A and B are shown apart, each in its own frame.
Chain A
Amino acid sequence: MKVILVDDEQKFIIMLAKRLAFRGIQADAVFSGEDAIQKIQHLDYDVAVLDIKMPGISGLELKKKLSSLAPELKFIFVTGHGAKNILENDLVIKNIFLSKPLNIDTLIKIINEITKK
């Protein structure tokens, strides 16, 4: 299982990557949408965990770009905003949103569920 974590809060994403590694999930942390796009072009991932609001490209826009590069990639969104703020368009209807601070067991449960074949 390989996960890419995308968030401009570097300390948060680095710690999360370490904790997932302790639990047997290989996770790469990148700090911007642009870096994520670069990474996806060279490496395969099963799941992308994306922050909704980042400088530059937003999480939802990033999903569109990553999906075109890796159609099988599954997505989980993480937000520090209230849920109402992100109910803007149809894109949010079929997406999974988790609120910060994360419960790592919940995250892993969802990763396992969405990657079940």
Chain B
Amino acid sequence: MNDAINFMNMEGLKFFGRVNASISHELKNILAIISETAGFSNDLTDLAKKGKVLDLSLIESCNDSIAEEIQRGFTTIKQMNRFAHSVDVPIKDIDLLETLDLTIKLSSFLSFASHVRITNPGKEIKSVLTCPFLMQNLIYQILCFTYESVGPGGEVHLQIDSEENGGIHLVFSSSVELVLEGFPNQNIQKTADILGVEFNINTSSIELDIWIPYVSDKINLLSEEL
């Protein structure tokens, strides 16, 4: 169990660093757009001072663009805050849909991210007793794998099926073939083992089925150690 905790710590730090790097990149892009737009607005007013007629619609367009980017910045920081608080409680009952929502949003900051479409939205599911941060890490790694498989501009489909007892299936697929060679890698498998998560790779229909238990003996053991 000490091995599991050490692994969680190391992987957790890597995950935290990776997500924060992508968030900082996103915020830098937002600030770059605001900077260039404000600079363009200044250029227009400088030209107006030199006697050129000022096209007010261009100034309005700059203002709208800056407002949009500020909103985009707030949305990004909101996800950053949600992520930061996901370590508040090491083991707890989670709403997996909320965890999925956050993880999909965090992964969207990656340069190679694809669009994720939940094919059966509005589904109500039971809570899952797990380590929220580690579960996010696992789903994030799985999303990265699918993004690399479908390529930029592609779309990942996600179907969520909950069993009466047992657990929840997250079934990943795409309109293009998911290349599942090399999945799961060692880190993904180890993380899944700690969480009691199982994989079912349906090679004939090229789907990736992730089974997440509502309650796992492994999580109960972990809870005693933490």
B21: chain A residues at CB < 8 Å are 81-82, 85
**A69 on the B face (CB < 8 A):** no
A54: chain B residues at CB < 8 Å are 111
**A71 on the B face (CB < 8 A):** no
What 1/0 mask marks residues of chain A from 65 to 109 whose CB sits below 8 Å from any chain B CB?
A: 000000000000000111001000000000000011110100000
Ordered nearest first, which 6 A-B pairs have the shortest CB separation? A55-B152, A101-B35, A15-B36, A80-B28, A100-B32, A101-B32
A56: chain B residues at CB < 8 Å are 151-152
Decide yes or no: A22 and B47 within 8 Å by CB, A55-B112, A55-B153, A101-B35 being known contacts. Answer: yes
**B29 on the A face (CB < 8 A):** yes
Contact of A104 among B24, B25, B28, B39 (CB under 8 A): B39
B33: chain A residues at CB < 8 Å are 9, 11-12, 15
B113: chain A residues at CB < 8 Å are 55
Decide yes or no: A101 and B36 within 8 Å by CB, A22-B47, A55-B112 being known contacts. Answer: yes
Question: Chain A interface (Cβ within 8 Å of chain B)?
Answer: 8-9, 11-12, 15-16, 18-19, 22, 53-56, 80-82, 85, 99-102, 104
Question: Chain B interface (Cβ within 8 Å of chain A)?
Answer: 21, 24-26, 28-29, 31-37, 39-40, 43, 47, 65, 69, 111-113, 151-153
A55-B112, A80-B28 known; 19 new pairs, CB 8 Å cut-off, are A8-B111, A11-B37, A11-B65, A12-B32, A12-B33, A19-B43, A55-B113, A55-B152, A56-B151, A56-B152, A80-B24, A100-B31, A101-B32, A101-B34, A101-B35, A101-B36, A102-B35, A104-B36, A104-B39
**A81 close to B65 (CB less than 8 A):** no
Q: How far is the CB of B57 from chain A (nearest CB, A)?
A: 14
A15→B30 CA distance, assembly (Å): 13
A101→B69 CA distance, assembly (Å): 14
Mostly helix, strand, loop or mixed at chain B's interface? helix
**B39 close to A15 (CB less than 8 A):** yes
Mostly helix, strand, loop or mixed at chain A's interface? loop
**B28 close to A100 (CB less than 8 A):** yes
For B147, give the chain A residue with the smallest CB separation.
A55
A9→B47 CA distance, assembly (Å): 26
A101→B32 CA distance, assembly (Å): 4
Q: How far is the CB of A26 from chain B (nearest CB, A)?
A: 16
For A11, give the chain B residue with the smallest CB separation.
B33
**B28 close to A101 (CB less than 8 A):** yes
